[in-house]
C-alpha cells in the first residue's frame, strides 16, 4: 500500500512542478500512460491473492483517477495563466482619443463626380469609361465629324506624334467624352443607359479654360426615347445636384454633328447684387449640350437607327462644381494649392449617396 502512496506523492509533485503542456504530457505518459507506472502496477494485480486484489484494485483505480484529475486541473490553470499573460501584453486603452483628422481631403472635382454618379445611378444609369488617348475614328469620324468638318478645328485637339511615323491617322487626347458613346454601344449594343465621366483635353488656357478638364457624357438608347425623357432626366438631375426642388431648364436649339435635333441647355438663375443664385429668378446659365443621337452615330456603333433611338448629353463637371461650390476661377482646380484644397476639400469618409445626402 505504501508504494501507492509513494507513487501518488511523486506524481502529484511532478504535476504541480510542470510548467508547460509538454511537461504535463510527459508526466501523464510516465504515470497513467499505457506503459506508465500505474499500468504496470495494475498488471501485478493478477499475481495477487483475491484478498490482496480486493484492496489494491480499488486503490490503484483511485490513484489513476486522482492523477488524471490533477493533470486536468494543472492543464487548465496553465491555460488560464497563458491567457492572463496575453491579456496583459495585448492591452489597449479604448479611452484614448482617436487619431487626429487625416491631412488629406477629397478634391471638389472628385466629390462632384461622386455626387453626379450617385444621382444618375439612382435614375438607372450605369457608369462607362473609355481611354483618354483616343483615335481619330472614335473622337471624330464615328461621331459624324468627318476630316474636313469645322468642328475639328473648334476642338483645339492635342495630336500625338506616333501616327506620322506609322503613316496612320494620329492618336489624339480625347477632346470630349462623346467617344465613350460609340465604344459602349459597339460593345453592348442597345438598349443602354450610361453616363461616362472623365478627363478631356484641349489646347486652351484662360480663366474659364484649362488644357485638361472634366466632362460627363450621358446616353440613353431604347425604342421610344424622346427629348421629353431628356428634359425630365436633366431636371431631376439638377434638382438633386443643386439640392433645389423644381429647378427649371431652358432648351435652346443648337447644332452638334452627333445629335439631331440638338439643344443647348440652360438652368434658371438669378444675379442678386452680383451674387449668382441657382434655381431662382429669370436669368439663364448654359450648362450642357445635348440632343437626339444622330442616326449616323448609331450606325457607326452598329446600332440600327430604324429600330433604336435615344438622347445624349455632355456636361462640364468643372463648370457645375464651380456653380455648386462657389468657386470663381477654374484654374484653381489644378493649382495644387494646399490652402485652397483644405478650404474646398471634402472629408474622405463623407461619401455622397442619395440616402445620406450628397454634400454637407
Contact residues for ligand DAH, defined by CB under 6 A: 176, 178, 217, 256, 259, 289-291, 312-314
State which residue, 290 or 309, has the beta carbon closest to ligand DAH: 290
Q: Taking the complex as a whole, how short is the minimal distance between the CB of residue 162 and ligand DAH, in angstroms? A: 24
Q: Is the dihedral of CA 150, 155, 156, 157 positive or negative?
A: negative
Q: Are 280 and 300 a contacting pair, CB within 8 Å?
A: no
Q: Are 199 and 312 a contacting pair, CB within 8 Å?
A: no
State which residue, 74 or 202, has the beta carbon closest to ligand DAH: 202
Other Cβ atoms less than 10 A from the Cβ of 278: the count is 21
Q: Are 119 and 354 a contacting pair, CB within 8 Å?
A: yes
Q: Taking the complex as a whole, how short is the minimal distance between the CB of residue 179 and ligand DAH, in angstroms? A: 9
Q: Taking the complex as a whole, how short is the minimal distance between the CB of residue 225 and ligand DAH, in angstroms? A: 13
Q: Taking the complex as a whole, how short is the minimal distance between the CB of residue 312 and ligand DAH, in angstroms? A: 4
For the chain, report the end-to-end CA distance as a whole number of angstroms: 86
State which residue, 28 or 176, has the beta carbon closest to ligand DAH: 176
* Residue number of the CB atom closest to ligand DAH: 314
SS3 349: coil
SS3 222: strand
Dist CA 234 CA 251 (whole Å) = 11
Bridge-partner residues for 266, per DSSP? Answer: 250, 286
Joined grid coordinates for residue 51: 484478498
Q: Taking the complex as a whole, how short is the minimal distance between the CB of residue 182 and ligand DAH, in angstroms? A: 11
Q: Please report, for residues 118, 121, 142, 166, 318, the alpha-carbon distance to residue 345 in angstroms, rounded to integers and kept in the order given.
A: 19, 23, 38, 44, 14
State which residue, 14 or 210, has the beta carbon closest to ligand DAH: 210
State which residue, 11 or 201, has the beta carbon closest to ligand DAH: 201
State which residue, 210 or 290, has the beta carbon closest to ligand DAH: 290
Q: Taking the complex as a whole, how short is the minimal distance between the CB of residue 160 and ligand DAH, in angstroms? A: 19
Amino acid at each position: 500500500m505504501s508504494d501507492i502512496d509513494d507513487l501518488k506523492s511523486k506524481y502529484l509533485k511532478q504535476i504541480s512542478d510542470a510548467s508547460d503542456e509538454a511537461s504535463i504530457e510527459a508526466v501523464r505518459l510516465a504515470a497513467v500512460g499505457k506503459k506508465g507506472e500505474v499500468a504496470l502496477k495494475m498488471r501485478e494485480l493478477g499475481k495477487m491473492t483475491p484478498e490482496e486484489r480486493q484492496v489494491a484494485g480499488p486503490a490503484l483505480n483511485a490513484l489513476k483517477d486522482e492523477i488524471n484529475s490533477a493533470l486536468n486541473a494543472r492543464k487548465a490553470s496553465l491555460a488560464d495563466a497563458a491567457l492572463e499573460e496575453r491579456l496583459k501584453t495585448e492591452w489597449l486603452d479604448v479611452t484614448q482619443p482617436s487619431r487626429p483628422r487625416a491631412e488629406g481631403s477629397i478634391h471638389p472635382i472628385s466629390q462632384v463626380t461622386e455626387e453626379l454618379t450617385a444621382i444618375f445611378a439612382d435614375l438607372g444609369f450605369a457608369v462607362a469609361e473609355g481611354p483618354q488617348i483616343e483615335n481619330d475614328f472614335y473622337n471624330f469620324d464615328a461621331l459624324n465629324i468627318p476630316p474636313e468638318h469645322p468642328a475639328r478645328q473648334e476642338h483645339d485637339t492635342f495630336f500625338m506624334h506616333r501616327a506620322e511615323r506609322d503613316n496612320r491617322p494620329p492618336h489624339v487626347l480625347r477632346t470630349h467624352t462623346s467617344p465613350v458613346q460609340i465604344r459602349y454601344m459597339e460593345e453592348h449594343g442597345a438598349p443602354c443607359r450610361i453616363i461616362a465621366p472623365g478627363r478631356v483635353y484641349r489646347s486652351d488656357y484662360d480663366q474659364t479654360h484649362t488644357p485638361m478638364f472634366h466632362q460627363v457624357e450621358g446616353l440613353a438608347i431604347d425604342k421610344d426615347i424622346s427629348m421629353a425623357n431628356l428634359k425630365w432626366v436633366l431636371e431631376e438631375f439638377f434638382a438633386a445636384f443643386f439640392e433645389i426642388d423644381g429647378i427649371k431648364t431652358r432648351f435652346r436649339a443648337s447644332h452638334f454633328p452627333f445629335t439631331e435635333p440638338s439643344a443647348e441647355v440652360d438652368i434658371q438663375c438669378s444675379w442678386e447684387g452680383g451674387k449668382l443664385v441657382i434655381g431662382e429668378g429669370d436669368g439663364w446659365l448654359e450648362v450642357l449640350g445635348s440632343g437626339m443621337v444622330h442616326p449616323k452615330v448609331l450606325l457607326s456603333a452598329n446600332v440600327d437607327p430604324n429600330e433604336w433611338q435615344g438622347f445624349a448629353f455632355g456636361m462640364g463637371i468643372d463648370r457645375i462644381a464651380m456653380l455648386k461650390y462657389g468657386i470663381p476661377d477654374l484654374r484653381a482646380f489644378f493649382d495644387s494649392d494646399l490652402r485652397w484644397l483644405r478650404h474646398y476639400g471634402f472629408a474622405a469618409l463623407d461619401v455622397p449617396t442619395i440616402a445620406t445626402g450628397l454634400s454637407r
